Amino acid sequence: MRRLVVVSNRVGPVRAAAKAAGGLAVALVDALRERGGLWFGWSGKVGERFSSRIEKVEEGPLTLLTMDLSQEDFDAYYNGFANQTLWPLFHYRVDLSQFDRAHFEGYNRVNARFAQALLPRLEPDDLIWVHDYHFIPFASQLRSMGCEQRMGYFLHIPFPAPEILVTLPVHDSLVRALFSYDLVGFQTEPDRIAFINYCVQETGGRIIDDYHVEAFGRTIQVRAFPIGIDTENFAELAASAGAKDRCVRMSDVLHGQIQIIGVDRLDYTKGLPERFRAFERLLENYPENRGGVTLMQVAPTSRTDVEDYVDIRNELEGISGNVNGRFGEFDWTPIRYIGRSFGRKALAGLYRASKVGLVTPLRDGMNLVAKEYVAAQDPENPGALVLSRFAGAARQLDSAVIVNPFDTEGVAEALQRSLRMPRPERLDRWHSMMGCLRRENVDKWRNDFLAALRGRE
């Protein structure tokens, strides 16, 4: 069995912490343990100056390797090109995407430095699996240093339509870099098609067969691998004593009120202001919900160095303040907005205590929260999921109540319908979604990707 080398911006956690952190870490750690391997990426630390020092932690057959970033590299690579250029652009926010050549140079510089650092630790038979938008040029850097190993890439966020991508001045350089991999994986079929359309329209590339595209003198495999969660494990977590305790405490606080829940990293792609407005519209249009229905929004802050993330927080505090001021009662707060994170068990309990899961991103590669909400439900009396059609997850969870998050009225209607959905309908929908989550779980995602990367050995 070939050794696996995983490259991602953040590394770990491993051991017990991996279970607490959830699906992705567990899936990668399992694969690394099974075949032995390296997991390489940024330590999360920023030093004053660049240093090529690698920190190494051995965990049985698995080795974690991390490097610090210099302040300059952090600003250009992470806060700059990754999070102020690629993240908004790939989520169709051309208006927020800022291009700065120095940031792009920094992005390439960090990819080159990381590739250089990994190079002496690679073995000829390694399978290399690179993750996400931080490391698009990683393989091209390794190839330029003479690496011939099989390399695969998985993009966790959407791949935009060519008309959007070409607004980026360096679009060709990025796509050319992707052709250094042997396999490029996307979350959904539309992402895969967007990539192929770009190759055909912009580079004169050729579709070879269902899974292969040729461009820049290379043929690569291009496939969709929808990421899943550790479904059984999450369902067990939600039924565990710790989660139940949270569920009971929640019910005590609610005094018979019904809860709608949203859980998202605080990010402008998640459609939070639109969601709050749709909830306000629910209270306006269907006054019977006043005093009886609460929206709890958990939104831990992220990327606080980027200004757009501060703006969204202020906007949300403004809207929830207005709605609460307008409708609130001494014994009922319509929107409970919590800006810090919860432990995983508590989160599972909160999902289970909520009659409706409200997941309305404006664009999302997959969205694991939607999947976790479903897995956490009581099989005897499950809640209903309201899900944006623009989340990758909507392609699998088509038994959810699917909404367009830009349609305030429509989301309010979907909420009203979900709050009143009869139990037999909730059960039917839940069984259909759970069936899919059990079949297409995170192990399948990882195994399918690795099988495609190995190819015919």
368 binds ligand GDG (CB under 6 A): yes
Residue (8 or 149) nearer to ligand GDG, CB: 8
Instruction: Find the part of the chain contacting ligand GDG (CB under 6 A) among 35-43, 52-60, 64-72, 367-375.
Output: 367-375
DSSP 166-214: TTSTTHHHHHHHHTTSSEEEESSHHHHHHHHHHHHHHH--EEEETTEEE
**Binding to ligand GDG, residues 328-357 (CB under 6 A):** 341-344, 347
Residue 231 CA: distances (Å) to CA of 24, 88, 370, 437: 12, 30, 12, 6
CB 393, CB 376: distance < 8 Å: no
The verdict on whether 156 is a catalytic residue reads: yes
Number of CB atoms found within 10 A of residue 6's CB? 21
Catalytic residue among 156, 171, 398, 448: 156
Minimum distance from CB of 214 to ligand GDG (Å)?
28
Which of 73, 364, 413, 440 touches ligand GDG by CB under 6 A? 364
Minimum distance from CB of 359 to ligand GDG (Å)?
8
Residue 162's nearest CA partner among 194, 200, 185, 188 is 194
**Binding to ligand GDG, residues 299-328 (CB under 6 A):** 300
Minimum distance from CB of 235 to ligand GDG (Å)?
14
Length, in residues, of the chain: 457
Distance between CA atoms of residues 353 and 311, nearest Å: 31
Residue (60 or 300) nearer to ligand GDG, CB: 300
CB 195, CB 412: distance < 8 Å: no
Minimum distance from CB of 247 to ligand GDG (Å)?
16
Kind of pairing between the strands at 258-263 and 335-338:
unpaired
Minimum distance from CB of 112 to ligand GDG (Å)?
25
Which of 29, 263, 272, 282 touches ligand GDG by CB under 6 A? 263
Per-residue binding string, ligand GDG, 220-259, x by CB under 6 A, is -------x--------------------------------
CB 191, CB 158: distance < 8 Å: yes
Which of 157, 243, 250, 335 touches ligand GDG by CB under 6 A? 157
The verdict on whether 364 is a catalytic residue reads: yes
Minimum distance from CB of 173 to ligand GDG (Å)?
23
Residue 199 CA: distances (Å) to CA of 124, 138, 143, 205, 403: 30, 20, 21, 5, 31
What are the φ/ψ torsions at residue 61 (nearest 5 degrees)? -75, 0
Distance between CA atoms of residues 319 and 299, nearest Å: 14
136 binds ligand GDG (CB under 6 A): no
Residue (218 or 395) nearer to ligand GDG, CB: 395
Residue (155 or 283) nearer to ligand GDG, CB: 155
Number of CB atoms found within 10 A of residue 55's CB? 12
SS3 assignment, position 136: coil
Catalytic residue among 126, 182, 267, 364: 364
CB 216, CB 179: distance < 8 Å: yes
- CB within 8 A of 427, min separation 6: which ones? 382
Token couple for 11: 């590394």
Instruction: Find the part of the chain contacting ligand GDG (CB under 6 A) among 315-323, 359-367, 406-414, 432-440.
Output: 359-367
Token couple for 194: 């967007």
DSSP-derived letter for residue 74 is I
Which of 221, 360, 367, 377 touches ligand GDG by CB under 6 A? 367
Residue (103 or 371) nearer to ligand GDG, CB: 371
Residue (2 or 352) nearer to ligand GDG, CB: 352
Residue (215 or 350) nearer to ligand GDG, CB: 350
Size of the site for ligand GDG (CB under 6 A): 20
298 binds ligand GDG (CB under 6 A): yes
Minimum distance from CB of 351 to ligand GDG (Å)?
9
What are the φ/ψ torsions at residue 293 (nearest 5 degrees)? -125, 135
88 binds ligand GDG (CB under 6 A): no
CB 185, CB 155: distance < 8 Å: yes
What are the φ/ψ torsions at residue 77 (nearest 5 degrees)? -80, -50
Minimum distance from CB of 282 to ligand GDG (Å)?
23
**Binding to ligand GDG, residues 5-24 (CB under 6 A):** 22
User: Would you name the residues annotated as active-site residues?
Assistant: 156, 364
Residues that bind ligand GDG (CB under 6 A): 22, 156-157, 227, 263, 265, 298, 300, 341-344, 347, 364-369, 372
